[in-house]
């Protein structure tokens, strides 16, 4: 019997606060060498302006295993379809038996937001009160939700190249989070007022200017997941304390890091730590109130394993989903 969980089942089973704690535990295992995470297999589909990724992982300490299939097709929004589609299969690590299939589209947004929440909790100033989100899509929504789960955010800004999407985002998130969310007319208007900046776009060039990043700002950069993509200015990367999700994946895929490395503006030694090392207190986080901190994530399959396993455990307790015999 396989349990099938819909988007709504996953949402009910795994609240953001619990997802954030699951991410911290998963990244501690990753940095401790207690995870088997092959580099994801990338299947380019240029004919349809898309890419499909296959992302398996095994967390040995928790004995959890899963694989995610996720597609990003850039023409989808014009077809009134989601940019991202995903499916997660949870496997019983003791027998190899598939035990659950669940919506991975919402799970991807949830776990991506949750890891930014974990990074914000570990790196942002305690007095952070204003957030700015670049990208008014599904990912941008969970970014703000996660930041608000770990800091008492009192005001937020959103910027998107499509003004209508930013306006819809501001209306929805203001109501959902009970705080004022304003649409920024320019990237500068958003960035220069923010204590925490989140970027969740598919941009190939920086989405804000380095000059607009104030001392003490924390940045979560989660949108650029290929060597050609870039959301954060090189100057910001060079002056920031850089924390990553996974060294191997980041140095293979993160354009925000690879571009300054290729330009000779920094070396690999500029990368301060993996997030799991900070969560485990093996390396320090923020050193001062004026320090700019940058968490760069390309997405690692341990996030999906941890989130899917936590969602499945809760769904079983709550009786969510449908059980189907293959």
Position 242 scores a pLDDT of 98
Pairing of strands 181-183, 196-199: unpaired
3-state secondary structure of 321: coil
Q: Is 323 a catalytic residue?
A: no
| pLDDT tens for the 326 residues of the chain, in order | 899 999 999 999 999 999 999 999 999 999 999 999 988 899 999 999 999 999 999 999 999 999 999 999 999 989 999 888 999 999 999 999 999 999 999 999 999 999 999 999 999 999 999 999 999 998 999 999 999 999 999 999 999 999 999 999 999 999 999 999 999 999 999 999 999 999 999 999 999 999 999 999 999 999 988 899 999 999 999 999 999 999 998 999 999 999 999 999 999 999 999 999 999 999 999 999 999 999 999 989 999 999 999 999 999 999 999 999 98
Structural domains in the chain, CATH included, are 2-108+302-324 (3.30.1780.10), 125-299 (3.40.50.720)
Specify whether the CB–CB gap between 134 and 231 falls below 8 A: yes
Among 229, 174, 226, 225, which Cα is nearest to 207's? 229
Position 225 scores a pLDDT of 84
108, HSE (Cβ side, Cα atoms, 13 Å): 29
Specify whether the CB–CB gap between 27 and 275 falls below 8 A: yes
Residue 306 sits at φ, ψ, to 5 deg, of: -65, -45
DSSP state of 269: G
Alpha-carbon distance of 191 to 261, in angstroms, equals 24
Position 173 scores a pLDDT of 98
Active-site choice (24, 68, 241, 296):
68
């Amino acid at each position: 019997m396989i349990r099938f969980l819909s988007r709504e089942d996953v949402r009910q089973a795994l609240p953001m606060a619990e997802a954030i704690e699951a991410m911290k535990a998963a990244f501690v295992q990753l940095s401790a060498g207690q995870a088997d995470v092959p580099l994801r297999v990338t299947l380019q589909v240029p004919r349809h302006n898309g890419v499909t990724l296959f992302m398996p992982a095994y967390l040995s300490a928790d004995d959890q295993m899963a694989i995610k299939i996720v597609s990003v097709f850039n023409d989808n929004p014009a077809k009134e379809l989601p940019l991202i589609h995903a499916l997660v299969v949870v496997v019983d690590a003791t027998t190899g038996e598939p035990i659950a299939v669940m919506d991975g589209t919402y799970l991807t947004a949830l776990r991506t937001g949750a890891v930014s929440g974990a990074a914000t909790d570990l790196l942002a100033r305690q007095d952070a009160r204003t957030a700015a989100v670049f990208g008014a899509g599904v990912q941008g929504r969970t970014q703000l939700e996660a930041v608000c789960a770990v800091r008492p955010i009192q005001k937020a800004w959103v910027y998107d190249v499509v003004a209508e999407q930013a306006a819809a985002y501001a209306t929805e998130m203001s109501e959902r989070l009970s705080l004022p969310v304003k649409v920024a007319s320019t990237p500068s208007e958003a960035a220069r007022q923010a204590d925490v900046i989140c970027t969740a776009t598919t941009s190939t060039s920086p989405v804000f200017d380095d000059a607009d990043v104030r001392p003490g700002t924390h940045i979560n950069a989660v949108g650029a997941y290929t060597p050609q993509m870039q959301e954060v200015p090189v100057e910001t990367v060079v002056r920031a304390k850089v924390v990553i999700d996974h060294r191997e994946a980041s140095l293979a895929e993160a354009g925000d890091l690879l571009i300054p490395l290729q330009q000779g503006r920094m070396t690999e030694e500029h990368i301060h730590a993996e997030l799991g090392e900070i969560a485990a207190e093996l390396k320090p986080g923020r050193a001062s109130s004026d320090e700019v901190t940058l968490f760069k994530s390309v997405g690692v399959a341990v996030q999906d394993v941890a989130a899917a396993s936590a969602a499945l455990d809760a769904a079983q307790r709550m009786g969510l989903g449908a059980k189907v015999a293959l």
